[in-house]
Amino acid sequence: MAASKLAAFAVLATLAACGGTPKVEEPPPAVPGYEAVVDGGFEIPAVDPALLKDGYQRTQVVYTGDEEPGTVVVDPFARKLYLVGEYGMATRYGIAVGRQGLSFRGTGKIGRKEEWPSWTPTANMVRTRPDLYLEYAGGRSGGLDNPLGARAMYLYRGGRDTMFRIHGTMDPPSIGHATSAGCIRLFNQDAIDLFNQIEVGAQVKVRTLEESIAAEGPYMDNAFGRAVPDTSENQAQKLKDEEAIAKKAAEDPEFAARLAAAQEAERRAMLQAAAAGG
């Protein structure tokens, strides 16, 4: 599970301290653009700087694709999203990709945009999966506990909703991962940034695997479930990290217990995301 793998890394680092008692330290300063922010009456927490490594921080990059400025390009395999700009540049965002995000290919347009979106399951969803959807049959209002996060942008094709969404998240550690539910997630700060830069009608392209490899090169998941370039160095690092996690879990009951708790928390988060369709 994606978030539990990332939690394993954090727990491993903490428990490696001398004496087994972690030092209480001040949290690191927020990265500019990812500070805590009050929006729509909700306080969005700052993003942990550790989650912005490996190219997952919003940044301006050279872009060599042939898409027109203003186009949103989604790469579900490299787990990147680009907003194409002028003069061969683009804004790159890190994303998480769920099942629905892997099911769409080709092009569409942003048909609508919502701030702090609400969500209501269809009658058929409630009927077929009451274990997931009955609780939300009356609708789920927007907020920090809504898996769609602070913003949602809805992809349409031929004037019809494709059920493909680009949206925020209630689970920042999931960014960079493939998840069991949802479409395309961004950090809430990034979802707001993208929302403010595009209009209804903006073109969206979702890359195929072949297009992703041609543009980005091959990608792989590291030991913590995050997409990184598929290089010999990253493959070797993955083996080392997997061995370290397994060894720590076998030797340290506290680490094993925290890992199990992280896995259970991720399971609950996945159920919530499935329930909200995001």
Give yes or no: 167 in active site: yes
Do residues 136 and 147 touch, judged by C-beta distance below 8 A? no
- The residue from 7, 150, 183, 273 that is catalytic is 183
Pairing of strands 203-206, 72-75: parallel
Phi, psi for residue 252 in degrees, rounded to 5: -125, 105
- The residue from 79, 80, 165, 167 that is catalytic is 167
Residue 151 in tokens = 């913003």
- Residues with Cβ < 8 Å from 33, sequence gap 6 or more? 57, 58, 189, 193
Does an H or E element contain 263, and which? helix 253-276
Cα–Cα–Cα angle for 170, 173, 176, rounded to 5 degrees: 110
Do residues 200 and 111 touch, judged by C-beta distance below 8 A? yes
* Cα-based distances in Å from 160 to 36, 110, 111, 184: 36, 11, 8, 19
- Residues with Cβ < 8 Å from 214, sequence gap 6 or more? none
Give yes or no: 177 in active site: no
- DSSP, res 22: P
Do residues 83 and 72 touch, judged by C-beta distance below 8 A? yes
Which residues participate in catalysis according to the annotation? Answer: 167, 183
